[in-house]
Structure 1
Amino acid sequence: MGIRPFDRSASLQAMRDEEFDLVVVGGGITGAGVLLDAAARGMKVALVEAGDFAEGTSSKSSKLVHGGLRYLQQGEINLVYQALRERRRLLRNAPHLVEIIPFLIPMFGKGGVLPAKISRLLGAAMWGYDLTGGWRIGKLHKRLDRDETLSYMPTLPAERLVSSYLYYDATADDARLVLSVLRTAALSHGAVAANRTPAVGLTKDDQGRINGVTVRPHGAGTDEQFTIRTRAVVNAAGVWSDDIRAQDEGVNPESIRPAKGIHITVPWDKVRNQVAVVIPVPGDRRSVFVVPHGGLTYIGTTDTDYSGPLDDPQCTPEDIDYLLTAINGSVEGELTTADVTGSWAGLRPLVASGGDGRTADLSRMHRVRRSEAGLVTITGGKLTTYREMAADTVDEVVEHVHSNDVGFAGWPGSSTAKMPLIGTAGYDTVLDALDVFPEVPAHTADHLASRYGGEARALMAMIQQDPALADTLVDGLPYVAAEAVFAARHEMAGSVSDVLSRRTRARIFARDDSLAAARRTAELMAPELGWDPSRIDAEVDRYAAEVQRERASGELPETHLASLGVGPAARGASPVSSEA
């Protein structure tokens, strides 16, 4: 299909004028994966997203690319195997976004003595993880004694600590991964995508087969409703997938059981974890992750039933207290809400099992289903396995929807297993370009390379032309002004929140400092998007309302990184090292 610009206006015009082989509803990681898989097979494909790309679940995960040790305990060996295989592929296909890091599981016992049964069970689980696929990255787990364990996290309570296990998994910026998949589909395979374009209806032919998606784009001059003509539709709307199914079936099937998961961010100095750590939750059968990120550490996640508005899940005081109780039970010292610099709440689109058990016990396996009218719906799954989920979904479209078309000649199979994402090319030589861009500080180039890969050169060129674009965007965080301009120009960012919440992750790490940067961010975006002063004011006010609602929902005080001792020295990579 060639290439197309990743541009909203051009994409909407194409959706009005052209007929597509497939339309994808939902712009999270699953929908993005379907878009790329189908486009890479040669299909003409379009994607519509009601809000911003990754605005739902896909920007609010634990940011882990992992197999999931606990799924072994639940007997989901196949899920763990699939996830670890996909982890290896992501490390190869997006090395600038996915990073191997060590994970520590401290073991506690009364009086420093660990029950033998627990020791044997955990040791068996670690070997099971390695044998299921952990070995694929060339690193096996190891047992550490108490002193070795404390060298990785000296705040652990030494009097209860017995030993630990160290194993390896990976992390990734989930929202940036979504953008990379979408832009790869557009810039390399000719797909089109548009955010802020909700699907409001489905059309059908005389035989009752779906042949169109009616959309109503938001934004100046684009509020008219129109129908995208298509041969097939994939519903990848996540927790909203039942709403799309209702447009087809006439009733809400109530097949999704949303589960809320929240995370909080605190200063790294309060925890001092050199690696990611898995800690138990007192009085519960769960554990949470404690992951270092520069001068900060984030902690999560919870796993609870959710019945509130799907568009705006919030962290409650009870949610935050749950995580603070968990971390305070595993470190010396005490963290309070005054230490919480950021927080986020997301909804997992779990497939309902018909029972009333805990959401934590529901399967994370994905499910592909097809309606009589041909709507293909993909639900469940994990961030790590998005590519395989997408391949399965497009296979369903090819085998059971397109195959009914007169003269259908077939499509090739999935080719994404070894497909590098945008930014992979040239990633390993970005820092060599510093001689060409002398205005770019070395630490800024390193930061940009870790987020944009080979595309970092484009941002470095912007800074070379205007050195002010190397200025810090948000105090205490490594993001620079050029990223706001690049987001508006090349990544379809259309609001201050798009930039501060998803194109960068300033809001989840430093909520109130990101608010202080809102006006500067709007002013950087304005020339790219044609905003006048009144629109700039409106954007700042809208973002302020979002931040204030977030703070009020969690009953959190205002916090700033500088007052908590987190400053410019925290720029760049986290303390974690894959060589641990």
Structure 2
Amino acid sequence: MSQRRSRRPLFRERRRRSLPRSSPRSAGASPGRRGHYGKLGGRSSMAASPTPLPPTPFDRAHALDRLGDEPFDVLVVGGGITGAGVALDAAARGLKTALVERGDFACGTSSKSSKLVHGGLRYLQQREVRLVYENLAERQRLLRNAPHLVSPLPFLIPLFGSDGVVNRAVSRAYSSALWLYDLTGGLRIGRRHRRIGVEEALAHVPTLRTDRLVAGFVYYDARTDDARLTLAVARTAVLDHGAVAANYVPVTALLKDDGRVRGARLDVDGTGPIEVRASAIVNATGVWADHVRALDEGADPRSIRPAKGIHVSVRRDKLPCDIAAVLPVPSDRRSVFVVPWGDEVYVGTTDTDYSGPLDDPRCEPEDVDYVLQAVNSWVTRPLSPDDVTGVWAGLRPLLADPGGRGSRRARTADLSRRHQVSVSPSGVISVTGGKLTTYRRMAADTVDEVVRLLGRGRRRSPTGSMPLRGAAGMAELQEDGASARLGVDNSVIGHLVGRYGGEARALLAMVHADPTMGEPLAPGSPYVRAEAVYAARYEMAHTLDDVLSRRLRATLHDHEAAAEAAPDVAGLVAPDLGWTPAETDRQIATFRQAVDLDRAAAHLARLHAGHQGR
């Protein structure tokens, strides 16, 4: 198997059919082009500029029809951030592209990260300067290309000492690392790090222990909603560049001619397989990459070493902070992030080997204890498991490298976060490793290999300066007088623009037509009713969990609120998804059972008994 690791010059930036819906056309698709989605041309040589492909609706039924009827240049397997990025890059280069995901988009690692778009300050300790440079360059591209989804976030590094004195070596080490971080690319965000005193540190995180706090540093990175970022990338590929995408479509076999892969067999809702012909197959399935490789090669190559990372959420009044913080873990050489998110604060993460079911990583009691003890070492108001409102566990697809840094003898926290693109003898292209921040670079490197293999498509990726869906049209919605002009409250406008960017127009139109659509999903919820309807109608959500856990993020941050909202949300989306009353009840029960299982695994209190019915 040939392999290409990412190496860049350090300082160069260069059929379960969709259930009946009231409106099958995707928001933002051009009405004048409806009905013109037949077989698409536009294939080009490397030298010629490819003919733009017409946009297609972001609709599963439409996608399944095309998957079974048309040949593709490239089939991308895996609907996380990497797979969505590959689909966008390939489609933008003029390749006829299909994307399939066996579950929901971003249902794995891509919805369960730390939600940070960052250079990785700690990677400097591992002398991964090139990786930090690449990360920071990609961070800036995301801030520019997705301003509605990626925003700057200040971080506090408190300095603790004894008797009011900080260890000078520790202080100098942090200062040197932060200067290197700034010079490596951190300054692109427009602010450099600075040292602050105790009073300012306490203004940001009031419950820090004053008997140990000596000073602090503030530096800048960025955060995102990882699941919505993944969805925006996939929607951009489909609506702006003619890709085809479908969720809940597992690959069951690879099709080969004379030993070369030529397509895949897909299972569609247990009703029978469909075969998709594709000139190239990209395996972008993250921690499941070895499963697809086994379909190709007949054996599990064990190239991935999964590492589990968990996060817990608490109410912000339990751990008050107005910026993020980085707290050292006394028991080892790691740190945890404390990140404000609306009325909640989430804390994480762990980094441990994982050998359990890849589909079902759980936050366990020892994980919760680790995170809470890390925080409690440095605050005056200790947290307990009773304070935890939400938990999530995800798996990092780290590269296994027997005998090297990926050896089982090494801690997962010490393994490189670089990515790798490899090609099997049959021509399956696999992209593994990497991290959320560098998804675009990973995708570009992967499609470079696709273009080389096929001998067609643009040689260079155009995505570095490509705005994602929602990036355009934000300013108009944020102008003074927008509330009066649209007939919608300013707070609702601000919330929707912050999550959907310019695409918030569609949601604001719903609210304007029916003011109840602007009401909270549940008392105290930041989400409004229009968002649930929009998710079902325009964002390919098919289950209650799709809506509450990924289109909205209610489940991650407040289990109780999500469980309370479940019946109302199910009632809102049922007409668009064609659910019968019995199916609506089943969706509610399934969702609540899943939440209870998450809480039980972490030994947290179950939801109130009154939540078990409608």
Answer whether contact 1:65 1:171 (CA < 8 A) is retained. yes
| Matched-pair contact (CA < 8 Å) for 1:340–1:559 | no
What is the CA deviation profile of residues 256-300 of structure 1, one whole-angstrom value per residue up to 9, with x for unaligned ones?
A: 000000000001111111110000112111000000111111000
**Pairing of 1:307-346 with structure 2 (within 5 A):** 307-346=355-394
What is the CA deviation profile of residues 533-576 of structure 1, one whole-angstrom value per residue up to 9, with x for unaligned ones?
0110110111011011011001112479xxxxxxxxxxxxxxxx
1:79 pairs, out of 131, 138, 144, with 131
SS of the counterpart of 2:378? coil
Work out whether 1:498 is the aligned partner of 2:534. Answer: no
**Residue 48 (1) aligns with residue 100 (2):** yes
Q: How far off is 1:513 after superposition? A: 1.3
- Counterpart mapping for 1:323-402 below 5 A: 323-354=371-402, 355-356=407-408, 357-399=410-452, 401-402=453-454
- Identity among equivalent positions (%) equals 56
Native 8 Å contact 1:368 1:378 kept in 2: yes
Structure 2 unaligned regions, length at least 5: 1-52, 609-614
Whether 2:196 is the aligned partner of 1:147: answer no
Q: Are the counterparts in 2 of residues 338 and 559 from structure 1 also a CA contact under 8 Å? A: no
TM-score, normalised via structure 1 length:
0.93
2:600–2:606 Cα contact (<8 Å) kept: no
Deviation at 1:223, TM superposition (A): 2.7
Matches within 5 A, 1:229-378: 229-354=277-402, 355-356=407-408, 357-378=410-431
What's 2:249 paired with?
Answer: 197
Whether 2:485 is the aligned partner of 1:436: answer: yes
Name the counterpart of 1:450.
498
Contact 1:341 1:559 in 2 (8 A): no
Q: Which residue of 2 aligns with 1:415?
A: 462
Query: Is the Cα–Cα contact under 8 Å of residues 448 and 459 in structure 2 kept in the other structure?
Result: no
Please report how far the alpha carbon of residue 353 of structure 1 lies from its aligned counterpart in structure 2 after TM superposition: 2.2
Alignment partner of 1:532 is 2:532: no
Rounded to whole Å, the distance in 2 between the matches of 1:256 and 1:73 is: 24
Aligned with residue 26 of structure 1, among 58, 69, 78: 78
Greater displacement, 551-560 / 26-35: 551-560
User: Which amino acid is the alignment partner of residue 243 of structure 1?
Assistant: H
Structure 2 CA distance for aligned equivalents of residues 364 and 314 of structure 1: 22
Report the Cα distance in structure 2 between the residues aligned to 1:491 and 1:122, rounded to whole angstroms: 43
Give the equivalent residue in structure 1 for 2:558: 510
Match of 1:476 among 524, 527, 542: 524
Determine helix, strand or coil for the equivalent of 2:486: coil
Cα displacement (A) at 1:391: 0.1
SS of the aligned residue for 1:436 comes to helix
Shift of 1:411: 2.8
Q: Is this contact kept in 1: 2:525–2:561, CA < 8 A?
A: no
Counterpart Cα distance in 2 of 1:551 and 1:457: 37
Tell me the SS of whatever aligns to 2:437: coil
Q: Once the two structures are superposed, what CA deviation does each residue of 1:213-250 show, in whole Å capped at 9, x if it has no partner? A: 111022xxx73211110000000000000000000000
Tell me whether 1:551 sits opposite 2:599 in the alignment: yes
Q: For the residues of structure 2 that align with 1:282 and 1:217, how far apart are their CA atoms?
A: 50
**Deviation string for 1:111-157 (max 9, x for gaps)?**
22111111111110000100110011111000011122111111110
Aligned length, in residue pairs: 549
Q: Partner amino acid for 1:434? A: S
For residues 306 and 415 of structure 1, the distance between their equivalents in structure 2, rounded to whole angstroms, comes to 37
On the 8 A contact 1:48/1:198 being kept in 2, the answer is yes
Q: What one-letter code is carried by the residue in structure 2 that aligns with 1:314?
A: R
State the Cα deviation string for residues 295-339 of structure 1 (Å, max 9, x = none): 111000000000111001110000001011011111111111111
Residue number in structure 2 paired with 1:565: none
TM-score by length of 2: 0.88
Give the letter aligned to residue 373 of structure 1. Answer: S
Letter in 2 for 1:146: V
Q: Distance in 1 between matches of 2:66 and 2:428?
A: 22
Q: Secondary structure at the match of 1:270?
A: coil
Residue 259 of structure 2 is aligned to residue 211 of structure 1: no
Secondary structure in 2 aligned to 1:473?
coil
- Tell me which residue corresponds to 1:118: 170
User: Over aligned residue pairs, what C-alpha RMSD do you find?
Assistant: 1.1
The answer to whether the Cα contact below 8 Å between 1:339 and 1:559 also exists between their aligned partners in 2 is: no
Which residue, out of 101, 107, 128, partners 2:180?
Answer: 128
SS in 1 for 2:114: coil
